[in-house]
């Protein structure tokens, strides 16, 4: 936003005076809309940005609502794939980590289902497998070929893209489960030895241990470039919404 010559107002913070006094999301966006030209809302409650968008007089960007959606992350992922591979179709995409709760993964699968000849390799421990509703309603309905495995190396030589994800503590009720799964996959140089030379390794960041730092200098590591793509796509989205 700043690069566009605009400014950022910090509203809606968890402990800010108005929300702590019990103000509703609907009231907050009407008040903020009197000051701002656009609202980017990150909210712990699913659906809050939808309510906001219905009540606001200025455009509202959903910047993540609880375990639900995070649309600008998915736009970032699409721009990254498009720029790194030069195409959005004819791709074999490995998705690795927490495929059960990972909202970025569910959104990316949904987005990629619109393109031709996509193949998916779903890599997760069996307790964190892709939910049935994603498999039935998105993957199978769109006749996308897919394989499930818990071994990150088994199909690594087939992949055009490897999308790593973090196991997120807040998605688990039981901390022991979190500790068991958090270091289940650690991508390192050794595991990449059979991978394609033009593999693109992505990660929504922040990473914890899922990718060893010895991978950072590999030209296939695209996750820091992904941040730049994220900035550009959000700049584009703001311009689009402001009809500049």
User: Which residue's CB is nearer to a second copy, number 128 or number 139?
Assistant: 128
Q: Considering the rule CB under 8 A, would residue 27 count as an interface residue with a second copy?
A: yes
Closer to a second copy by CB, 47 or 149: give it.
47
Q: Which of 159, 73, 83 is nearest to 119 (CA)?
A: 159
CA distance 35 to 8: 11
Own/partner pairs, 101-105, CB within 8 angstroms, 24+ separation: 101/67, 101/128, 101/168, 101/171, 102/165, 102/168, 103/67, 103/68, 103/69, 103/70, 104/70, 104/73, 104/74, 104/77, 104/165, 104/204, 105/130, 105/163, 105/165
The contact mask relative to a second copy for 150-169 (x = CB under 8 A, - = no) is ----------------x-xx
224 forms part of the interface with a second copy (CB under 8 A): yes
Cβ neighbour number for residue 90 with a 10 Å cutoff: 12
Among 87, 114, 193, 231, binds a second copy (CB under 8 A): 231
Residue 242 as a binder of a second copy (CB under 8 A): the answer is no
Residue 34 binds to a second copy (criterion: CB under 8 A)? yes
- Identify the three-state secondary structure at position 130: coil
Closer of 86 and 206 to a second copy (Cβ): 206
CB of 56 to a second copy, least distance (A): 11
- Among 45, 54, 194, 208, contact with a second copy (rule: CB under 8 A): 208
User: Per-residue DSSP letters for 78-112?
Assistant: HHHHHHHHS-SSSEEEEEES-TTT-HHHHHHHHHH
Residue placing its CB nearer to a second copy in the complex, 193 or 228: 228
Query: Per CB under 8 A, does 2 bind a second copy?
Result: yes
Q: Does 18 bind a second copy (CB under 8 A)?
A: yes
Interface positions with a second copy (CB under 8 A)? 2, 7, 9-10, 17-19, 21-23, 26-28, 30-31, 34-35, 166, 168-169, 205-208, 213, 224, 227-228, 230-231
């Amino acid at each position: 936003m700043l690069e566009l010559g605009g400014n950022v107002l910090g509203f809606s913070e968890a402990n800010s005076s108005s929300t702590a006094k019990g103000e509703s999301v609907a009231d907050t966006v009407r008040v903020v809309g009197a000051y701002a030209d656009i609202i980017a809302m990150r909210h712990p409650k699913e659906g809050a940005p939808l309510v906001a968008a219905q009540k606001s007089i200025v455009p509202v960007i959903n910047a993540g609502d609880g375990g639900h959606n995070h649309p600008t992350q998915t736009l970032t992922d699409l721009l990254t794939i498009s720029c790194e591979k030069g195409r959005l179709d004819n791709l074999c995409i490995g998705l690795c980590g927490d495929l059960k709760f990972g909202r970025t993964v569910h959104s990316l699968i949904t987005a990629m289902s619109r393109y031709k000849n996509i193949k998916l390799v779903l890599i997760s421990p069996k307790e964190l497998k892709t939910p049935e509703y994603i498999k039935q309603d998105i993957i199978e309905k769109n006749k996308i070929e897919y394989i499930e495995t818990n071994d990150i190396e088994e199909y690594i030589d087939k992949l055009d893209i490897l999308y790593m994800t973090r196991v997120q503590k807040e998605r688990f009720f039981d901390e022991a489960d979190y500790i068991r799964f958090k270091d289940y996959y650690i991508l390192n140089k050794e595991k990449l030895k059979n991978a394609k030379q033009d593999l693109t390794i992505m990660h929504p960041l922040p990473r914890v241990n899922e990718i060893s730092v010895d991978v950072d200098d590999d030209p296939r590591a695209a996750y820091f470039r992904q941040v730049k793509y994220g900035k550009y796509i959000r700049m584009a989205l703001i311009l689009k919404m402001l009809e500049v």
